[in-house]
Amino acid sequence: MSMRNRSRLIRLTLSYGVLIVMSIMILYPLAWTIGASFNPGNSLISTSIIPKNPTLAHYKELFEGSASLPYGQWYINSVKISFFTMVGAIISVSFTGYAFSRFRFKGRKNTLTVFLLLQMIPQFSALIALFVLAQMLDMVNSHWLLILLYIGGLIPMNTYLMKGYMDSIPMELDESARIDGASFTRTFWQIIMPLSKPMLAVVAMNGFTVPLGDFVLSSVILRTTEAYTLPIGLFNLVNEVMGASYTTFAAGAILISIPIAIVFLLLQRNFVSGLTTGGTKG
């Protein structure tokens, strides 16, 4: 075997080894959670990946609609907040990304620097200020305030992503549109936005998944059981010392992935599409 073939074999072996290890790290906890959701009882001590006596009791318990476990209401709350956060993030980031990519105005560089600095400040440090703001606005326990906070938190980093993507779209397209009499608004909606679909899909995915995985901010704003989102409600299932139900928690956690999977399937074809290249041909 030549040195070149041997080197190639070593690289392939290492690559497949890394992929196998990463797959195990991702799939093993998922398989354990799925198995736990079908195991009878509430403890994880007697659970296994392949249940000996599988049951759907935990899934039925989630949707019985009891006062102590309004899982259906939590699910609706989470999907509503995620959907409107996604829509708001797409709209706001599209405007900010286009403005920073296509226009030169006073304070542009300083604003981008501020956006970068905002990412270095942990969300936890602003919780007290956000709670005081919610009290001042009389919007404690408000889903709409939580949506606005999520959108505001998504703008800085996603603006960087959107700006970088729009910078790759040739300026010649804008200039040609201007020559043909198109306004900035028409250029934005009919040229830039269609070519930015791959990055819009990324922003949409970020906007939808962030609320579904957030516990800290939502637990500060939301105070009543009926207003809880899934992360807060499920946390309460395992927070009780005597009544913790880890298997029911596992069932509820598995069901969170359903809307994420649906959104991913709807956006999947836009993640890798080469619309920018296609827009410059002809």
Q: Give per-residue pLDDT as tens, 201-232.
A: 989 999 999 999 888 899 999 988 889 999 99
Spatial contact of 161 and 203, defined as CB atoms under 8 Å apart = yes
Model confidence at 240, pLDDT cuts 50, 70, 90, reads: low
d(CA 178, CA 176): 5
Spatial contact of 11 and 3, defined as CB atoms under 8 Å apart = no
Six-digit token string for 188 = 């934005």
Give the contacts of 84 (CB within 8 A, at least 6 positions apart): 147
Lowest-confidence region among 29-43, 73-87, 141-155: 29-43
Predicted local confidence at residue 177, as pLDDT:
87
Predicted local confidence at residue 90, as pLDDT:
95
d(CA 39, CA 48): 7
Lowest-confidence region among 11-25, 58-72, 143-157: 58-72
Predicted local confidence at residue 148, as pLDDT:
94
Predicted local confidence at residue 70, as pLDDT:
87
Q: What's the whole-number mean pLDDT along residues 118-129?
A: 79
User: What are residue 248's DSSP bridge partners?
Assistant: none
DSSP letter string over the chain?
Answer: --HHHHHHHHHHHHHHHHHHHHHHHHHHHHHHHHHHHTSSSS-STT--SS-SS---HHHHHHTS-BTTB-HHHHHHHHHHHHHHHHHHHHHHHHHHHHHHHH---TTHHHHHHHHHHHTTS-GGGGHHHHHHHHHHTT-TT-HHHHHHHHHHHHHHHHHHHHHHHHHTS-HHHHHHHHHTT--HHHHIIIIIHHHTHHHHHHHHHHHHHHHHH--HHHHHH--SGGG--HHHHHHHHHH-TTT--HHHHHHHHHHHHHHHHHHHHHHHHHHS--HHHHHT--
d(CA 164, CA 192): 13
Cβ burial, residue 171 (10 Å; 0-12/13-18/19+): exposed
Predicted local confidence at residue 85, as pLDDT:
96
pLDDT of residue 121 exceeding 60, the answer is yes
Model confidence at 1, pLDDT cuts 50, 70, 90, reads: low
Six-digit token string for 201 = 């899909």
Mean pLDDT of the chain: 84
Cβ burial, residue 99 (10 Å; 0-12/13-18/19+): middle
Q: What's the whole-number mean pLDDT along residues 265-272?
A: 77
